[in-house]
Structure 1
Amino acid sequence: MMLLPDVKARRMLLRAFQFSATGVFAALAISACGGGSGDASLDKTTAPSGFSVSYDTKGYLFHWSATAGATHYELVEDPDGLGPLPEAQVGGAIAPNSYAHSLAAQLLYERVNASYRLRACDASGCGAFTSAVVPDLTRAIGYFRASAPAPRWSGRFGTHDFGRGVALSADGSTLAIGAPGDSSASHGINGDPSPSEATHYSGAVYVYARVNGRWDQQAYIKASNQGGSFGATVALSADGNTLVAGAPAESSNASGVNGNQADTSVFGAGAAYVFRRTTGTWAQQAYIKPVLEVLQPSTFFGSALALSADGKTLAVGSPGEYNGLNTPSQVNFGGAVHVYARNNDTWTVHSRVTSSEAEDSDHFGTQLAISGDGQTLAVGAPHRKGFLAPDALHPSGRYVSSVGAAYVLTRNGATWTQQAALKPPVIEYTAFGTALALSTDGNTLAVGAPGYTDAVTPRPVSPPDTAAPGTVYTFHRQVGQWSQQTLLKPTISEKLEGFGRTLAMSADGRTVAVGAPAEMSKAVGINGDPMDNSARLAGAAYLFTQNGNAWSQRAYLKASNTASHIDFSQAIALSADGNTLAIASRSEATSATDPNTVQTGTGGSVYLY
């Protein structure tokens, strides 16, 4: 993990003052004992000197010079500067002359323009406040990179593809980042990360944990066999103790749970791996494959994952699979979804789900989302075709590619029943179903349609269309019936942004984060200027919240080191509590946050808001 500037100073201060209750209690204890500068009387007319701020991941470190006679200090925060929210004290009675202020309990955009003031106090009262300090919020954006050495062979650099998959626990304190381009030859947990050209794109998953306000790498996880883009997809249970990693390019001929991993005769068959954490230590629990009469190559099992909140129901997408009678006899690349269940620590095959409208190349299972209880499953088929009625130019009618669809299924025992087949209202190339996000209760569904066009005539019938900004549809379920709720669009929309390419939703379904990895502005950080389109494929993310029945855009998010072609928001994850947002930029390869920092990884980063 790469930290932001002022690294040495921040590390020294953080060793003494962690983001925890311990520091506050210690401060109160010192205050009660009459800490500070002994018997000197406090000058109530003078504010503390040297009041300044440094930065950590979603946190500030305030420091100042000791004031003669002070027994403690009071720090106040105005959360929105000149806005309507009132100023309030934070941190209690602070005895040391520094204080680590965590922003973990809110998304960073909620502290745009926040200002802070400090005053010194003794038993008789407090003195004058300092002038307000307005921190640079961009410098509090977390920045994670692969810790493994940059692969290099044949005179060229490889890539970690760090951030292709990203997942957060419900409280946002565990972060899993997939790096399918990792090239080490190790297996299992915390092995040697040194790259090898022979195992290029074997893949890895990095796990980070926030403990007492500090983010640290907890594990470096590899597949138990050679893998194959291991980490292209990742999923976490609500408590963060169950991790699933997909490896859609894995090539063994195994079947079911914990089969023979050594056979490598079926290229791109795919696999999924389950890991469990116990008291901070990770171990592999299961190696999962589809159960088919004939395991076909290029089924890419593991291309999508969905894990229930308790970590006991797992759905795995197999979008290249023949969709029919378990044999290559019916629908070519129709796709399927395989469901597995855990009882204690044993995983078993539960069911296989296919589309009721299966056609060639639908790629059913490209995206998945599951409710917290594992009883509602949403499946994306973004390549499903649509048929346009005959007209003067096309008397026999015509098919439109990649209109897309999203299917909602509910479970009764081992049986899944289709509850709804959701499709865009107009037949055009929308790629509807490219991304999905489902609330914990399963009643709110967001569907990404990055090919959506707004009032374009004639409507496009094949990709790409340069006037397609993309959109997100939201749907709501009531008494088993689904209805469209709204369309989410950015306040300022440009051509071909890919808006809706990725999605994430809070547990209550009232906060939605939307990725637009082709967005082109040169803005940096939070709520910058979106109008300078000089950074091609820089990417952006947008945050929307629901108030009553109305949705509104709350934040426009960019990387802290925006550059062209970094594909910011190619993957995105939001904690269930809605307070932590991870946004991946798997093509980012700069070290712009600190030019003096030695870059030990390449190809991707993840930002935390």
Structure 2
Amino acid sequence: MNPLQTAWLLGCATMALVGCGGGSDDTTPPPPPSAPMAAPANFAITVEYGSPQFRWSPTPGATRYELHEDPDGQGPLPEAKVDDYNETSRAGFRYQQDTSQNFVGALANTPTPVSARLNAIYRLRACNAGGCGGFTDATPFDIAKGISYEFPSGRAPLLTSVSAYGRYAMVSRDGLTLALRGASLGATTTTLVFARSSTSQPWQQQASLQSGNYFVDQMLLSADGGTLAVRSMKQVWGELGSRVVADAVYVYQRSAGAWSQQARLDAASAPAGCPQPCQAEIADHMALSTDGNLLAVSAVIPAAGSGGGASASSAVFTYARTGTTWAPQAALNAEGTFIASLALSGDGSTLAVTDRDLLRTSATPLVLVFSQNGGGAWTQQGRIPATLSIYSPPISGGPEYGAMALSSDGSTLAVNTANVAGQGVCGAAGPGSTETQRIALLSRAGGTWQLQGQAVMPRALPWTPWALASDGNALFLGGAMFTRSGGAWPCP
């Protein structure tokens, strides 16, 4: 036998199992390759305090999940995997299951600011020891959707009880202008303004505005997107150390795409109704008309000779703009110590105010409603008793009452109120929970306010977001749309 035949026979002997000239008694077919895991279902992105939050349903067989980010969407930057959460640095993509067994995730302590993620697109996939499955569809981070609701009449801010205290981001009614508080809460905090030519186009930064000498506490953008009011803070040093107090409200206006400061409003520019010399401090809340020509701010006025404290009184200062000039208009007595919430109609003719009852001495708190005549004079129009929702903001001296919203014409008022025993609830109640959220809807006719209806939904999460359409005929609450019909607000 020649060497070639010998090699061939030895090869067949050692490879018999693959049928090289021989055979095997084992005729069992090889197992099929394992099917790749499906892409996670119901992948969605929401917004929490300006940052993206992720939700999805569990994928069978998955032991971990990977998030991939394209930071500028269709721009030149490449997509990359987001770092997994690191327990030591406490940074990265962190996720866990919630009470419904779905997953919720967030970007923890990442160095990239929210402003750099406004045009980001995300994909998610499930993985295990055998590898990773397919990706979800690319999903954009839509901050406008997270902070507002788009009605046919335009976008309206999404409110919660907590949002009565401060705002970190605002979007115009047409969704084309965005104001965003900078990431830092120190002396370098700025307000960033972005614009886009249409809702399908990416955001482009238009301005970076620094107000005051400490940090930005709250901001408001007019519905038409052309006026921005920013409340800033300052640090004051005294015998007992330092404290942070209100500095002023800075007003900016846009002209041909450029933003410039138009006014700085503080106690020195308070309306004449403030006892002179006015020692008022600009307080926690602001409201702005649709066109940005009327601004209302809350204020605290110390009692004469008392140095402030429990004897202080609350007020609302209004300022009006004529052309490019701002002037103080009125000081309205809010009948309490601190204001908890403000709402101004789009046309600037109606103002609603609630007071913060630190000791909860009032069993039925009041919503005060003021009306303005054509000449700029304000009168109290209503004192509406309401079982207001109570919450405790993270930076506060005590409990406060929830948010309110007025329609453009001021004839419809929505008030975040507390749970009321025996009220009807729209939708299925959450398992094991009877907690509800109630929005009282009041209507004005001939100067008289009456409760017209209420929107009541199970409260799946604390402070379910809600929004009132600018025309006052629709209210969005907890994923449901309530529509006024024949003067009533039936369940959707």
Pairwise TM-score range, normalised by the shorter structure: 0.5 to 0.7
Q: TM-score, normalised by structure 1?
A: 0.47
Task: Please give the alpha-carbon distance, in whole angstroms, between the structure 1 residues aligned to 2:230 and 2:345.
Answer: 19
> Aligned in 2, Cα 1:348/1:496: closer, same or farther, shift over 3 Å?
closer
Residue 422 of structure 2 is aligned to residue 508 of structure 1: no
Task: Please give the alpha-carbon distance, in whole angstroms, between the structure 1 residues aligned to 2:333 and 2:106.
Answer: 32
> Aligned in 2, Cα 1:467/1:410: closer, same or farther, shift over 3 Å?
closer
Per the alignment, residue 371 of structure 1 pairs with: 289
Q: Which residue, out of 333, 353, 374, partners 1:447?
A: 353
1:257-268 equivalence runs, <5 A? 266=186
Per the alignment, residue 191 of structure 1 pairs with: 120
Which amino acid counterpart does residue 545 of structure 1 have in structure 2? S
Residue 325 of structure 2 is aligned to residue 404 of structure 1: no
SS in 2 for 1:334: strand
Task: Please give the alpha-carbon distance, in whole angstroms, between the structure 1 residues aligned to 2:367 and 2:216.
Answer: 26
Residue 217 of structure 2 is aligned to residue 311 of structure 1: no
Q: Is the contact between residue 95 and residue 106 of structure 2 (CA under 8 Å) also seen in structure 1?
A: no
Which amino acid counterpart does residue 233 of structure 1 have in structure 2? Y
Aligned positions, number:
341
Task: Please give the alpha-carbon distance, in whole angstroms, between the structure 2 residues aligned to 1:181 and 1:548.
Answer: 52
Show CA shifts across 1:221-277 (max 9, x none). xxxxxxxxxx94333333332232334x525xxxxxxxxxxxxxx357352433334
Per the alignment, residue 456 of structure 2 pairs with: 558
CA RMSD of aligned residues (A): 4.7
Per the alignment, residue 7 of structure 2 pairs with: none
Show CA shifts across 1:174-223 (max 9, x none). xxxxx99986646233325699xxxxxxx98252799999x9xxxxxxxx
> Aligned in 2, Cα 1:386/1:207: closer, same or farther, shift over 3 Å?
same
Task: Please give the alpha-carbon distance, in whole angstroms, between the structure 2 residues aligned to 1:321 and 1:238.
Answer: 31
Task: Please give the alpha-carbon distance, in whole angstroms, between the structure 2 residues aligned to 1:513 and 1:527.
Answer: 20
Task: Please give the alpha-carbon distance, in whole angstroms, between the structure 2 residues aligned to 1:527 and 1:469.
Answer: 28
Residue 257 of structure 2 is aligned to residue 345 of structure 1: yes
Task: Please give the alpha-carbon distance, in whole angstroms, between the structure 2 residues aligned to 1:359 and 1:290.
Answer: 26
Which amino acid counterpart does residue 367 of structure 1 have in structure 2? H
Per the alignment, residue 476 of structure 1 pairs with: 371
Task: Please give the alpha-carbon distance, in whole angstroms, between the structure 2 residues aligned to 1:181 and 1:467.
Answer: 42
> Aligned in 2, Cα 1:496/1:347: closer, same or farther, shift over 3 Å?
closer
Q: Which residue, out of 474, 477, 482, partners 1:580?
A: 474
Task: Please give the alpha-carbon distance, in whole angstroms, between the structure 1 residues aligned to 2:151 and 2:383.
Answer: 39
Q: Which stretch of the first structure deviates more once superposed, 354-363 or 238-247?
A: 354-363
Task: Please give the alpha-carbon distance, in whole angstroms, between the structure 2 residues aligned to 1:413 and 1:244.
Answer: 23
1:520: how far off?
6.8
Per the alignment, residue 250 of structure 1 pairs with: 184
> Aligned in 2, Cα 1:397/1:190: closer, same or farther, shift over 3 Å?
closer
Q: TM-score, normalised by structure 2?
A: 0.56
Q: Is the contact between residue 471 and residue 499 of structure 1 (CA under 8 Å) also seen in structure 2?
A: no
1:348-427 equivalence runs, <5 A? 348-355=260-267, 356=270, 362-364=281-283, 366-381=284-299, 384-387=300-303, 399-400=309-310, 403-425=313-335
Show CA shifts across 1:76-113 (max 9, x none). xxxxxxxxxxxxxxxxxxxxxxxxxxxxxxxxxxxxxx
> Aligned in 2, Cα 1:494/1:288: closer, same or farther, shift over 3 Å?
closer
Task: Please give the alpha-carbon distance, in whole angstroms, between the structure 2 residues aligned to 1:557 and 1:182.
Answer: 35
1:553: how far off?
1.1
Per the alignment, residue 245 of structure 2 pairs with: 333
1:466: how far off?
5.9
Task: Please give the alpha-carbon distance, in whole angstroms, between the structure 2 residues aligned to 1:409 and 1:340.
Answer: 14
Task: Please give the alpha-carbon distance, in whole angstroms, between the structure 2 residues aligned to 1:288 and 1:503.
Answer: 30
Q: Is the contact between residue 370 and residue 377 of structure 1 (CA under 8 Å) also seen in structure 2?
A: yes
Q: Is the contact between residue 190 and residue 211 of structure 2 (CA under 8 Å) also seen in structure 1?
A: no
Task: Please give the alpha-carbon distance, in whole angstroms, between the structure 2 residues aligned to 1:180 and 1:508.
Answer: 40
Q: Is the contact between residue 369 and residue 382 of structure 2 (CA under 8 Å) also seen in structure 1?
A: yes
Q: Which residue, out of 401, 416, 440, partners 1:542?
A: 440
Structure 2: stretches of 5+ with no match in the other structure: 1-43, 56-83, 97-104, 125-140, 155-165, 237-241, 392-398, 483-492
Show CA shifts across 1:383-432 (max 9, x none). x255389xxxxxx897426742211011234432111111224xx44x22
Q: Which residue, out of 116, 124, 145, partners 1:207?
A: 145
Task: Please give the alpha-carbon distance, in whole angstroms, between the structure 2 residues aligned to 1:522 and 1:342.
Answer: 50
1:283: how far off?
1.1
Task: Please give the alpha-carbon distance, in whole angstroms, between the structure 2 residues aligned to 1:581 and 1:558.
Answer: 11
1:452-531 equivalence runs, <5 A? 463-465=358-360, 467=362, 469-478=364-373, 479-490=375-386, 493=387, 500-516=401-417, 519=419, 525-526=425-426
Which amino acid counterpart does residue 546 of structure 1 have in structure 2? R
Q: Is the contact between residue 528 and residue 556 of structure 1 (CA under 8 Å) also seen in structure 2?
A: no
Task: Please give the alpha-carbon distance, in whole angstroms, between the structure 1 residues aligned to 2:311 and 2:106.
Answer: 29
> Aligned in 2, Cα 1:499/1:331: closer, same or farther, shift over 3 Å?
closer
> Aligned in 2, Cα 1:210/1:362: closer, same or farther, shift over 3 Å?
closer
Which amino acid counterpart does residue 242 of structure 1 have in structure 2? T
SS in 2 for 1:484: strand
1:374: how far off?
2.1
1:105-184 equivalence runs, <5 A? 145=46, 148-149=53-54, 154=87
Per the alignment, residue 321 of structure 1 pairs with: 234
Which amino acid counterpart does residue 558 of structure 1 have in structure 2? V
Task: Specify which structure has the bigger relative contact order, considering alpha-carbon pairs within 8 angstroms and separated by 6 or more residues.
Answer: 1
> Aligned in 2, Cα 1:568/1:286: closer, same or farther, shift over 3 Å?
same
Show CA shifts across 1:331-362 (max 9, x none). 96133111111112222222211132698893
> Aligned in 2, Cα 1:388/1:555: closer, same or farther, shift over 3 Å?
farther
Which amino acid counterpart does residue 271 of structure 1 have in structure 2? T
Which amino acid counterpart does residue 367 of structure 2 have in structure 1? V
Task: Please give the alpha-carbon distance, in whole angstroms, between the structure 2 residues aligned to 1:468 and 1:181.
Answer: 43
Show CA shifts across 1:120-175 (max 9, x none). xxxxxxxxxxxxxxxxxxxxxxx995574369775999899xxxxxxxxxxxxxxx
> Aligned in 2, Cα 1:495/1:272: closer, same or farther, shift over 3 Å?
closer
Task: Please give the alpha-carbon distance, in whole angstroms, between the structure 1 residues aligned to 2:459 and 2:197.
Answer: 35
